[in-house]
Amino acid sequence: MIAVVASTFPRFAGDSEPGFILDFARELSRFSKVKVFVPNHPLSNDSTDWAGVPVERFRYFPIRSQETLCGDGGIPAKLTTRKGKLLLPFLILAELALFVRLLRDRQVRVIHVHWILPQGLSFALAKALLPRDPQAPMTLLSFHSGRDEKVSRFYLWLEKCIVRSFDRITVNNEKTRPMLEKLYVKPIGYLSMGLPKDAEAMGLPLRKDYRSIASIGRLVAVKGYLELLREWAKRKEALKDYSLILLGKGQLAEEIQAFIQAQCLASQVRLHANPSRELIFQTLSEAGYYLQPSLVSPTGHTEGFGLSVVEALHLGCTAVVSAVGGLPEVVGDIGYVCANAGEMLDRLLDGSIQPVGPAQCRERAHRFAWGSKNLQELYS
């Protein structure tokens, strides 16, 4: 059995929480038994089977209603709050106990851990507590965020301790790959996220509105949405014929909405702070352009991949992204890469950004389809 451990997973049918771990596990189930282990959430559907994939939602805090560290913006954003900092040690302890159990389970052939923090840290602690076992399962860690070389010494030390605990490592963008190979003197695998199955089932829209711009992502600082809105406000007269629709969840929802109101942008900019998948698909189907601003965090971490960009391309949107992390790799030579949000809007206004054929956009998105990946090779 392959045990997949992560912290991001849909909590209920139609949840806008990214579902790539579910899609990934469904692909694994084609050639192996698989089970997904994810933290509980108060809104979680208690079903132990998702589309044929066994799922265990493990508890990590005595009061179920307070198990909110994961989801709605992600763990890093939650750690800016007092409650998030309180919950983190409980999650790490619960994951540590889970990994001790999995490492001792003879039915588990592979433990595949997603995200270096906190899952990778919890695994490293569990492995350090147990005696060396020649029959232990193969272990694999997947990085889902990018980073530059300017990380802190403490983080670098912690990353080294975690990476050394695993048999294999994968990254989801080619920019991070050579950096880690040089640092750890070992081959690093490449495993990008895949085109979501529910998006893949959508037909190509017949018409696109190139005065309509969409953007989807967690409403957190690193996504750069406040920077995009500040630049939009400077150019709001020039952009009067355009509309911008932001969709996502996260800690900055109220601040973003307040900025829209304070700058009198409500006639041009709409925020949907709790979008359904149906609304996301409807918006992407109608919009002509898709903008993905992104920043490098103070800790040196960046956007790892850009799954929403793949969805937008699949639904025929012309993609304009920041020159950050793995975003340029996603759009390739059919999208536009800009230094910052201001450049995105300036190029849109001066005409140097032009619509790309929806069929071309979809063809690019299909490079990331799950069917194009040889997942079995990961575990050979």
Q: What is the residue extent of each domain of the chain?
A: 2-191, 198-366
pLDDT tens per residue across span 255-285: 999 999 999 999 999 999 989 999 999 999 9
- For 320-376, what is each residue's pLDDT tens digit? 999 999 999 999 999 999 999 999 999 999 999 999 999 999 999 999 999 889 999
**Residue matched to tokens 């389970």:** 105
Check residue 251 and give its pLDDT: 86
Query: Coil, helix or strand for 168?
Result: strand
Confidence of residue 50 (pLDDT cuts 50, 70, 90): confident
Peptide bond into 328 cis (omega under 30): no
Domain 198-366 is in which class? alpha beta
* Residue 113 · residue 142 · CB < 8 Å: yes
The 8-class DSSP code of residue 253 comes to: H
The torsion angles phi and psi of 363, rounded to 5 degrees, stand at -60, -40
Homologous superfamily in CATH for domain 2-191:
Glycogen Phosphorylase B; (3.40.50.2000)
Go through 32-50 and write b for each residue having 16 or more CB atoms within 10 A of its CB, e for each that does not: eebbbbbbbbeebeeeeeb
106 — pLDDT class (breaks 50, 70, 90): very high
Is-contact 344 213, C-beta < 8 A? no
Residue count of the chain, please give it: 380
- Stretch 103-113: mean pLDDT, rounded? 97
Q: Is 214 helix (H, G, I), strand (E, B) or coil?
A: strand
pLDDT at residue 207, rounded to an integer: 95
Closest by Cα among 153, 161, 158, 164 to 186: 164
298 or 96: which leads in pLDDT: 96
pLDDT value, residue 277: 92
In the chain the first and final C-alpha atoms are separated, in Å, by: 14
Instruction: For strands 49-50 and 34-39, give the pairing.
Output: unpaired
Phi/psi-derived region of residue 51, left when phi > 0, alpha when psi is between -120 and 50, beta in every other case: left
pLDDT at 102: 98
Confidence category of residue 13, pLDDT binned at 50, 70, 90:
confident
The span from the CA of 136 to the CA of 111, in Å, is: 10
Q: Cα dihedral angle (319, 71, 84, 255), rounded to 10 degrees?
A: 50
